[in-house]
Amino acid sequence: MFLIVGLGNPGDKYEHTRHNAGFDTIDCLADQYGISIREKKHKALLGQGMIEGNKVILAKPQTFMNLSGEAVAEILNYYKMDPETELIVIFDDISLDAGNIRIRKKGSAGGHNGIKNIIAMTGTQNFMRIKVGVGMKPAGGDLVAHVMGRLPKDEGEYFDLAKKNTCEAIAMILRGEIDRAMNAYNKKVREKEEA
């Protein structure tokens, strides 16, 4: 079984903001595979289903971003899952242009508070993650305002592309093809398409 977690903040005012890229991508995955995310349990909204022949739990922590690890740790403990082999976390990344994604087998928090908390609560940074690009803040701009803002309309198509690519990458990862997924999607998709 795999636990696939999308990070974000609960509540209408945070819907479709850059910081909620993880939530939006989980919704995309749920739609694609017919998984209903309605169960409220372990400080998260959960849905169970099958992807590529694997049982999966899709989760959207409801703890707010900075405490995401509380929900992740509870779910992992309850289902006796190993974060190093059965956890995939999807989250926003301001160092990537909107439209680009980056798949990693492990790594540091890189300044992301949600990931920092997951590392603290699970005791490991060796878990798979997919970073969804939301673009850098403008020079002199406020970081919080940037991540809590929504992508402008002209960037929306790039975010749709990132969600589609993330769903395809997850299918590959669940087939045991993470290296192939990294080779396919850790490139600058947006620049390639614009060229």
User: Active-site residues: which are they?
Assistant: 19
SS3 39: strand
93 phi/psi in degrees, rounded to 5 = -140, 120
Annotated binding-site residue? 100? no
165 is in an annotated binding site: no
64 appears as a binding residue in the annotation? yes
At position 27, the amino acid (one-letter code) is: D
Distances (CA, A) of 139 to 25, 98, 134, 152: 27, 17, 15, 17
Task: Check whether 23 is labelled as a binding-site residue.
Answer: no
| Bind-site residues | 14, 64, 66, 113
- Residues annotated in the binding site for tRNA, as ranges? 14, 64, 66, 113
